Structure 1
Amino acid sequence: MSLLFRTTAAPVNGRRYARAAALVGSIAIVAVAATGCQPIQALPAAVTRTDVMSAPIGNQKIQEGGALVMALSAEPDRLDPTTSSSLYTRYVMQTMCQKLYDIDDKGKIVPQLATALPVVSADGLAVTIPVRTGATFADGTPFNADAARLTIERGLTLKGSARKSELGPIASVQTLNDTTLRINYKKPFAPITAALADRAGMVLSPKAVAAAGAAFGDHPVCVGPFKFAGRVPQTSIKVERDPLYYDAKNVHLDTITYRIMTDSNIRAANLRSGAVQVADSISPQDVDALSKEAGVGILQVGSLGYQGLTLNLGNTAGVGKPPGEINTPTAKDAKVRQALSMSVDRAALVNTVFNNWYEPACSPIAPSSPFASDLSRACPEFNPTKAKALLQEAGVQTPYPVELQVSNSPDALRYAQALQAAVADGGFALTIRPVEYSTLLDVQTRGSFAALQLGWSGRVDPHGNMFNFLATGAGNNYSGYSNPQVDKLLAQASSVTDQAARAQLYGQVVKQVQADNPVIYLYRVRSLTAYSTTVAGIDTFADGVVHLSNAAFVTKK
């Protein structure tokens, strides 16, 4: 989609909520023609939300079998845990590919294919992991420690791996016996357990990897309650119950179909009609009305992640490659990027655009994280007047033009259009280029952008929210950012185990990143998942993933 949006409207700031609401309403009229957005009204600034992370089965009667349909707000990328970067891929993989570890509803790391948390040697260089017996991959291959070893080594060596920097400075991986894995490090690496509670810990069938190689994602094979059944590109992905699963007695559905529905209005309409039973990423425009409807439940949970603007400082050859030179003021002059950050009133924008359902974000560390600090909680100054002065110091023309690529979903466009009007006060002329979500993932990987608006669903350890995005040459460093001091601090933070010391180091990283602004952090979503009360056993946690492995159709007893 190549449509460009340009609008002119009044600025938004934290002291003028009524004016901001009128602004967003007028902007939404522009979006209606292209996206079907509707105007919104501002709510009071202070609204307390309570997490609801589960729809328990309780004393309801389970109806064994059945075909559940979940509406996904975007299409997953390739179903390969080693290379994927999409939250929506994690939704699907969660039912098919179990991990060595997982997180629970309290954000604690718990064993899954492992049987206990790792044992770390006194010097921090050897991490020993016991794994379960009696598990089988969907292709009949026995699960064992050697399969886990091969998966981790694939994460380190496969071309295009997005997991390498998540796994840390591994020297070697050993299989001590069928039930014991050992990871040997060049230096201590504290985030390893958290990394193995995400895609890096999804253990792949050695037989399937050997047969498919880099094409593994076309037909993934893992240990899980369900197994891959088929994919229709841009339409749906289907999984079916795996009879070889070690805990098959607690799997109730026959199939789950993930149907791609990018429009939030369409997802809500299909939920109401019964065509789907679960829908992710319900729009803040719809959730209040849906929550009042009979037969509909809402799960909601705060996010460990963030939404932000990524500015291209040096991604000239693709993500993970050495930074190149981009000869633009945005890429070369930190004053220009600081001016853009200072033009954003985060609280006012998020409150008016998202009906107070989301929260402003100032850094990649959620305020609720045990690794949060005063530095990571501090928000950059909002000062449009000073922003204009910085642009003048940088010697650039004003209004300074910036092209922003953004997902063409209604909510993403609504925010981008409000942002466009808001930063005009700081001396910026923002042009919005909407593109399909899957295309935007490719754009950020290739580096074919000046600025783009995307987010990250978040991880329990800050390393998972920071190192891959901010360390020189890391697997998700879409900005092409490189700062030796940040690299040093991130490495230090990953090598110490004391939580307070790590929090202090990550706070120093945030302070430097807020000066350099390769990413301008904007807001945190609440994960809003709607479901039909004909189903239960659905969970959603702070990492943003909706869990359907133990879901079932139910009736009241």
Structure 2
Amino acid sequence: MVLAAALATATLGLAAGGASAQTTVRIGLAEDPDVLDPSLGRTYVGRIVFASLCDKLFDIDADLNVIPQLAVSHETSEDGLALTIRLREGVTFHDGTPMDAKAVKYSLDRHRSMEGSFRRGELSIVENVEVVDPLTVRLDLKSPFAPLLATLTDRSGMIVSPTAAEAAGDQFGNNPVCAGPFEFVERVQQDRIVLEKFDDYWNADAINVDRVEFRPIPDSTVRLANLQSGQLDLIERALATDIPTIEADPDLVLETTTELGYQGMTINVANGEGATGPLAESPLVRQALNLAIDREALNQVVFNGAFFPGNQWVNPQNSWYQDAYPVPARDVEQAKALIAEAGVETPIVVDFMVPNNPEVRQVAEVIQAMAAEAGFDMQIRVVEFATGLQEAEAGRFGAFMLAWSGRPDPDGNIYSFAHSTGPLNYGKFASEAVDTALTQARTATTQEGRMQAYSDVADVWLTEGSVLYLYHRAMLIAHTTAMQGYTPRPDGLVSLLGVTME
């Protein structure tokens, strides 16, 4: 199989004079990404594509430390109100235009002001972006903002070509132009996204692959079968139940990291037509649903114990975890008592929207059975992933199984979901106390101050809020032994730096 996979990657044949074959890496994705525009994108699989397409001002290392990427250094003012960034010299975009301070200002302003931008909330603390000189920018802040560098390690820190973005307008995502190791070639919806090596990439010596093809294959069984047959070289999010199969195959390698994010259920409390009924109206009923779920049993039944039960926006091993709120044990009798206290009749009917993923569907079915014992009728409605996001925005759901891939700073896991103006607050939960505490967590200058602020968030959000946290995944990436030099990232994304194909 190794030989077959190696031959399959030599898709472009031998060049004249006997040069080595060009190599293609084929990556199987669990969903088709949304728009390939860093300002507008919001999916995990989109972030995987961006990792090859669009470099950021900063990145993270294996220990979650922030390190320079398009930047070379940074300095924060003593009062915390200004961040000065020095940029890498000689970097160009895929269209040949310079990646300089003007381009950085343009991109950050675009993230902050573009209609529909999901980066607006992430950068709302920025008052102004100033060009200091051709390779230096200064971000003036409204107040100190502890998560800023971590925020710039993701899509908010991705820099796009102003020339290409101005020409394309809101269609930029159809032909994105960035400064990453690979440039965009084509996209066929639900079939493939193709990138090719950018010869003028600033770190070109680390890129040994000529072409990348991302292929969305929602069925995990089919995705693994394609990897085993040599039709794919790497798959993301293999099933936990497939771990024994992968480990037993001498031609495959399994890479594992614990995700920074969480898997949970978003409850519609105030968003449109779906915000009706006891679950939306009563925090007691939401607490009852929380207590009806046995997280450890869910982990054992669906994931063979390979994942990690959780109840917060970070996992229990994370230094930001709130110990005062441990993972709750299942208590059906207490759940029934809370429903009675709320004065609600059972069964409580819930429109339960679930992405069309075999593993997630199984999770939903287990939750459905557990919740039924407490008096809930969780009516599962399976939707395609992109459709689910549209339905969530429109408020056409009662509960929604929704994953979050996670960020290195806790702010990235909670603010956009729990703040009343957060762009990912699909349940439209609103609390002045939570808003205030989330802002304090952003502006506090010490870890102790931030921890206290998150404690204040937990006091309200974990009892009244619109997300029930369930578990944290082991990020399972499998690839063929023909792929050498692959290093798993702590954020679960796929980097091809240093990768070679035999």
Asked if 1:485 is matched to 2:433, the reply is yes
Of residues 368, 392, 397, the one that matches 1:420 is 368
CA contact (8 A) 2:186 2:193 kept: yes
Secondary structure at the counterpart of residue 115 of structure 1: strand
**Aligned residue among 444, 457, 470 for 1:522:** 470
For 1:303 and 1:406, locate their aligned partners in 2 and report how far apart those are by CA, in whole Å. Answer: 21
Quote the residue 1:510 is aligned against: 458
Matched, 1:103 2:51: no
Is 1:461 the counterpart of 2:397 in the alignment? Answer: no
Q: Does 1:82 align with 2:31?
A: no
Q: Does the Cα contact within 8 Å between 1:316 and 1:326 map onto a contact in 2?
A: yes
Choose the corresponding residue for 1:359, options 308, 319, 324.
308
Report the equivalent of 2:75. 119
Partners of 2:407 and 2:370 lie apart in 1 by 30
- Equivalent residue for 1:21? none
SS of aligned partner of 1:184: strand
Query: Which string of whole-angstrom CA distances, capped at 9 and with x for unpartnered residues, describes residues 229-288 of structure 1?
Result: 100001110000111211223211110100111111111111111111101110112121
Amino acid in structure 1 at the alignment position of 2:268: N
Aligned partner of 1:410 among 353, 358, 361: 358
Are 1:174 and 2:122 an aligned pair?
no
Q: 1:494 Cα deviation (Å)?
A: 0.3
Asked whether 1:344 is paired with 2:265, we answer no
Question: Deviations 1:165-215 (Å, cap 9, x if unpaired)?
Answer: 111322111010111111111111111100000000010101011101111
Q: 1:84-233 maps to which residues of 2 (within 5 A)?
A: 84-116=41-73, 118-233=74-189
How much has 1:64 moved relative to structure 2? 6.8
Distance 2:324 2:121 in 1: 25
Aligned residue among 191, 194, 215 for 1:238:
194
CA contact (8 A) 2:275 2:398 kept: no
In structure 2, relative to structure 1, the CA distance for the partners of 1:537 and 1:65 (3 Å cut) is farther
Indicate conservation of the 8 Å contact 1:135/1:246, yes or no.
yes
Question: Offset of 1:453 from its aligned partner?
Answer: 0.2
Which runs of structure 2 are paired with 1:181-330 in the superposition (5 Å)? 181-316=137-272, 326-330=275-279
Whole-Å separation in 2 of the counterparts to 1:202 and 1:368: 29
Deviations 1:324-381 (A, max 9, x none): x9442222211111111111111121122110111111100223333233136x2245
The equivalent position to 1:68 in structure 2, one of 18, 25, 47, is 25
Contact 1:147 1:205 in 2 (8 A): yes
What is the distance in 1 between the residues matched to 2:203 and 2:45?
Answer: 25
- 1:38 aligns with none
- Contact 2:278–2:348 (CA under 8 A) maintained in structure 1: no
Contact 1:252 1:550 (C-alpha < 8 Å) held by counterparts: yes
Q: Partners of 2:426 and 2:409 in 1: how far apart?
A: 20
Amino acid aligned to 1:137 = F
TM-score normalized by structure 1? 0.85
How many residue pairs get aligned? The number is: 484
The residue identity in structure 2 corresponding to 1:199 is R
SS at match of 1:527: strand
- Contact map agreement 1:311 1:519 (CA 8 A) in 2: yes
Q: CA–CA distance in 2 between the matches of 1:146 and 1:225?
A: 21
Specify the code of the residue in structure 2 equivalent to 1:472: S
The one-letter code sitting in structure 2 at the alignment partner of 1:492 is Q
Q: Does structure 1 conserve the Cα–Cα contact (< 8 Å) formed by 2:29 and 2:217?
A: yes
Distance 2:115 2:400 in 1: 25
Q: Are the counterparts in 1 of residues 275 and 395 from structure 2 also a CA contact under 8 Å? A: no
Kindly report the root-mean-square deviation, in angstroms, between the aligned alpha carbons of the 2 structures: 1.6
SS at structure 1 position matched to 2:458:
helix
Q: In structure 2, how many angstroms separate the alpha carbons of the residues matched to 1:281 and 1:105?
A: 19
> Structure 1 374/350 Cα, relative in aligned 2: closer, same or farther at 3 Å?
same
> Which residue of structure 2 lines up, in the alignment, with residue 540 of structure 1?
488
- Distance, in Å, in 2 between the alignment partners of 1:188 and 1:139 is 36
Map of 2:419 onto structure 1: 471
Structure 1 runs of 4+ with >3 Å offset: none
**Which one-letter code corresponds to 1:348 in the other structure?**
A
